[in-house]
Amino acid sequence: MSEDTQAVETDAAKKPEQARGRSTIEFPYLDLSNAMEVAHAVKAVGGTSADWPQIAIKLSMKADGGAFRLRILTSRVFGIVDNNRGHVELTDLGIRIVDPQYERAAKVEAFMRVPLFKALYDKLVGQTLPPPQALERMAEQAGVAPKQKDRARQSFIRSAKQAGMFDMSPDRLAMPPGLNGQSSTAKAAPDTAMAPPPPPSPPPPPETLHPFVKGLLDKLPAPDAEWAIKDRAKWLTTAANIFDLMYSAPSEAATIEITVKQSGGSS
C-alpha cells in the first residue's frame, strides 16, 4: 500500500459521515486498484464470497477499522461487490475483473459504473485534460461537495489511469485501444448468450411426376423460343409412346398418330 493511499484512507476514515453526505453524486474516496484488491482477496479466500474478517486478514487490515470499511465501500461504488452485514459477494462484474481474460474490459466497465466518473468522462473524452482547479470545479458542478472535490479529482484521475483511459494519450481521456467503448458484458463475458442457429430448411416436397413425364417436360424449349414443327411432332410422338407405357386403355382398336401437314396440304 502506498503512502498516498494510506494517507487517503486514514484521513477519510476520520472524516465525519455528514461531510460526504453533502455530495449529491456518488464517487469513491479511493481508486479502482483499491477496489480490485478487495475483489482479489475475496477470490483468494472464498472464490466468489467471503466474510469481512477473512478479507481483512488477506489485506493485512483490521476488519473493524475505518480504512477497511472504506475499501469495502469503494468496491461497492465501482459495482464490484455486494456487501451485506459483514459478508461480501462478488458481482458478475467483480468475477470478470479478477479473471485475466476479461480484466481489461471489466476495469473500463467498473470505471463507468461510478456516476461522477461517467459524467466527467462524457464531458472530457478526447479533450486535453483541464488544470486541477478546473477539473475540481467540474466535479463540484456535477454534485460533489466543495470540501470533497479535491479527493474526488484524485480518485478520478488515478482510476482513469488504472482503467487504461490514458493509454492513447497521457493528457486526453479515451477508451483503451481495442475496446471501442464496448462493455465487457457485451464483448467478452464468458456466459454471453449466443444467437440460436437458424432453423433447418424444410425438406423439398416429394416428387409427384413420373420420371418419364418429368424428363419429357424438361425437353420443352423455353417460352418464346423457336421450335420447329418436326421437332414438335417428335416430342408429341414421344409423349404418346410414354402414355402407352404408363397408362392402360380400354380394349379398342385405336392408336394415336402425330402427323405434320404442309401448308400445301401434303403430309
What CA–CA distance (Å, rounded) separates 90 from 75?
Answer: 10
What is the model's pTM?
0.61
Q: What is the pLDDT of residue 16?
A: 43
Give the range among 4-13, 44-53, 164-173, 251-260 with minimum mean pLDDT. Answer: 4-13
Note the pLDDT of residue 253: 63
Does the structure show a pLDDT above 60 at 18?
Answer: no
CA distance linking residue 55 with residue 45, whole number of Å: 7
pLDDT, one tens digit per residue, over 176-228 is 988 765 544 434 444 444 456 666 666 666 666 667 677 777 777 778 788 78
- Taking only the tens place, the pLDDT of each residue in 63-79 is 999 999 999 999 999 99
Residue for cell digits 416429394? 206
**Is residue 79 within 8 Å of residue 113, measured between CB atoms?**
yes
Percent of the residues in the chain that have a pLDDT greater than 70, as a whole number: 76
CB 142 within 8 A of CB 114: no
Cα distance between residue 46 and residue 49, in whole Å: 5
